[in-house]
C-alpha cells in the first residue's frame, strides 16, 4: 500500500502511540522498506531502523517486566522477555495492525508471499518502533509497545507460549548458540512415541517425549527453559 492510502494508515498507527500531529512521515515510511525493495528500487532499507528498534523494544519490555514482576529472579524475567520479543509474537502483532499491507518488498519476495513472512513482519515491527522513537520520543515508543504488544499477551505462569522459540531466542542472545534437537522413536506406527534431547554447545539442557517429533521437541525445550530459570549455584 502506497500513496495517500498508505499515509493514512501510517497516521492511524502513530495515533496508537499517542501522536496526534504526525508531520513528516518519511521516517515512518522507511520503516516498511525491506532490503529486497531497496535493492530493486534504490534508497535506504529498514535494516538500520530494525537494529535500533530491537534495542528500544528490549529496553521498554525489560522495564515493564521489572516493575510488573517485582519478585521474580533474573532468569525468569529473561525468559519472559524472550517470549515477548521473539519474531513469532512480533509478527502476530504486526499482522493484527495491518503491516502486511504496508511492507514494501522486491517483486520476487512479494510474489512468494513475503508480505506475510514472520521475519519480514517482525523486522518491520522493530523498525516502526524505531521510527516512533526517532520521530516522537521514547515515551511515545513506550506507549505503543506496551499498549499494542506487551499488554495484549498472556503473562500468566502457564501461558501457551512456543517453548522452542523462547529457548532459541534465549540461547542466541545469551549463549551465542542455536539449540540442537535429537529425536529417537520408541513407538509403533499405530501409537507413535518420540523422545527428544536438546543441547546447546554440546551440553544437554532438557529432554522430553510426545506422540510426535514436534511435541517431543517442545517438551524438551520446556524442560530446558525450566532448568535455565533456576538460580545458578
- pLDDT tens digit sequence for 119-164: 889 999 999 999 999 999 999 999 999 999 999 987 765 554 568 8
- Residue 157 domain flag: no
Distance CA 90, CA 33 (A): 17
- The grid cell for 130 is 524505531
Residue 198 lies in a domain: yes
Output the CA–CA distances (angstroms, integers) from residue 137 to 14, 129, 187, in the order listed.
Answer: 12, 10, 57
The least confident of 16-20, 46-50, 196-200 is 16-20
On whether the CB atoms of residues 95 and 116 are closer than 8 A, the answer is: yes
Same domain membership, residue 66 and residue 102: yes
- Say yes or no to pLDDT of 220 above 90: yes
Residue whose C-alpha is closest to residue 17's, from 137, 152, 151: 137
Q: What is the pLDDT of residue 128?
A: 96
Q: Are residues 38 and 132 in the same domain?
A: yes
Q: What is the pLDDT of residues 83-101, one digit of tens each?
A: 888 888 898 999 999 999 9
> Which of the residues are catalytic?
54, 126
How many separate domains does the chain show? Answer: 2
Domain boundary among 152, 182, 199: 152
Query: Is pLDDT of 197 > 90?
Result: yes
Query: Is the model's pLDDT at 168 over the cut of 90?
Result: no
Residues 48 and 80 reside in one and the same domain? yes
Return the pLDDT at 1.
57
Residue 71's pLDDT band (cuts 50, 70, 90): confident
- Here the CATH number for the domain that contains residue 168 is 3.30.160.20
- How high is the pLDDT of residue 41? 85
Pair (99, 48) in one structural domain: yes
Query: Which domain, by its residues, includes 172?
Result: 163-229
Amino acid at each position: 500500500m502506497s500513496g495517500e492510502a498508505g499515509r493514512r494508515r501510517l497516521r492511524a498507527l502513530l495515533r496508537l502511540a499517542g501522536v496526534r500531529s504526525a508531520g513528516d512521515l518519511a521516517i515512518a515510511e522507511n520503516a516498511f522498506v525491506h532490503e529486497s525493495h531497496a535493492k530493486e528500487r534504490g534508497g535506504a532499507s529498514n535494516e538500520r531502523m530494525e537494529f535500533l528498534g530491537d534495542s528500544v523494544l528490549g529496553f521498554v519490555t525489560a522495564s515493564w517486566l521489572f516493575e510488573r514482576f517485582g519478585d521474580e529472579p533474573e532468569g525468569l524475567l529473561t525468559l519472559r522477555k524472550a517470549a515477548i520479543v521473539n519474531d513469532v509474537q512480533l509478527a502476530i502483532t504486526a499482522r493484527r495492525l495491518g503491516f502486511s499491507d504496508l511492507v514494501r518488498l522486491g517483486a520476487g519476495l512479494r510474489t512468494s508471499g513475503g508480505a506475510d513472512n514472520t521475519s519480514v513482519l517482525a523486522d518491520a515491527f522493530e523498525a516502526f518502533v524505531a521510527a516512533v522513537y526517532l520521530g516522537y520520543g521514547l515515551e511515545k515508543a513506550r506507549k505503543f509497545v506496551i499498549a499494542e504488544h506487551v499488554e495484549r499477551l498472556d503473562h500468566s505462569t502457564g501461558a501457551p507460549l512456543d517453548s522452542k522459540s523462547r529457548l532459541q531466542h534465549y540461547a542466541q542472545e545469551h549463549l551465542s548458540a542455536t539449540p540442537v534437537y535429537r529425536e529417537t522413536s520408541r513407538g509403533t506406527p499405530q501409537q507413535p512415541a518420540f523422545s527428544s534431547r536438546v543441547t546447546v554447545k554440546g551440553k544437554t539442557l532438557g529432554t522430553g517425549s510426545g506422540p510426535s517429533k514436534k511435541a517431543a521437541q517442545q517438551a524438551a525445550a520446556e524442560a530446558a527453559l525450566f532448568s535455565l530459570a533456576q538460580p545458578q549455584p
